[in-house]
Chains A and B, each alone.
Chain A
């Protein structure tokens, strides 16, 4: 069956450390993989998109990698801050997917302690 899994439901780290979140997928061939941030009671906010032919993408303190062999994406936040505390969702668009239907993981709740 098709699955997209974010292995950790929650991740607690100390301020200043690098947070690494994992997204694995099964039986999909995604054209893109995206990462979103969601704060409680709010809609998701788009962060980064990485295509299946890209290995790495960076944006300020954020870095995303995409390994189509391992069927995995890693999301890194360097020099983490308490303001980075939120739930982070990965989402993919299956190759050949129509109209950009996004399939979401359940998310990882990141808590950055001062």
Chain B
């Protein structure tokens, strides 16, 4: 089955620093990847849609200058949290859509737990 990896799985950083999270589709190509954020006991909230070779589409209320997304290849998207603050602490999950399928099934990565001190 389709496998999506994320790196790192956990990161702790100081307030004001930037953190980069990688999302890779390991056995399929993904023109579209999605970035979600999940707070405890809450549903996944879509932050942005990452499109290979073009600019990401951000959801309302998500600051594009704070959450930089780069989708440089069909198998890699990165999310950089710039000047991180404690309120950015959350569980960040990426997903990828398999271009070979004709449904909107998404395959999720294992998530990255970000803690900003």
Contact = CB atoms under 8 A, between A and B. Distances in A.
A101 B97 CA distance: 10
B75 interface: no
Given A32-B104, A43-B109, A99 B43 contact: no
Interface size class of A (residues with CB under 8 A): 20 to 34
A104 B105 CA distance: 13
A34 B51 CA distance: 23
Contact of A101 (B46, B91, B105, B108): B46
Interface residues of B, number: 27
A84 to B, nearest CB: 19
Interface in A32-64: 32, 34, 36, 41-46, 49
A82 to B, nearest CB: 22
Given A99-B49, A101-B46, A104-B43, A49 B108 contact: no
30 contacts: A9-B41, A32-B103, A32-B104, A34-B105, A41-B111, A41-B113, A42-B111, A43-B6, A43-B95, A43-B109, A43-B110, A43-B111, A44-B44, A45-B108, A46-B105, A46-B106, A46-B107, A46-B108, A89-B43, A93-B104, A99-B51, A99-B97, A100-B97, A101-B34, A101-B46, A102-B95, A102-B104, A104-B43, A104-B44, A105-B43
Interface of A: 9, 31-32, 34, 36, 41-46, 49, 89, 93, 97, 99-107
Interface of B: 4, 6, 32, 34, 41-46, 49, 51, 57, 91, 93, 95, 97, 103-111, 113
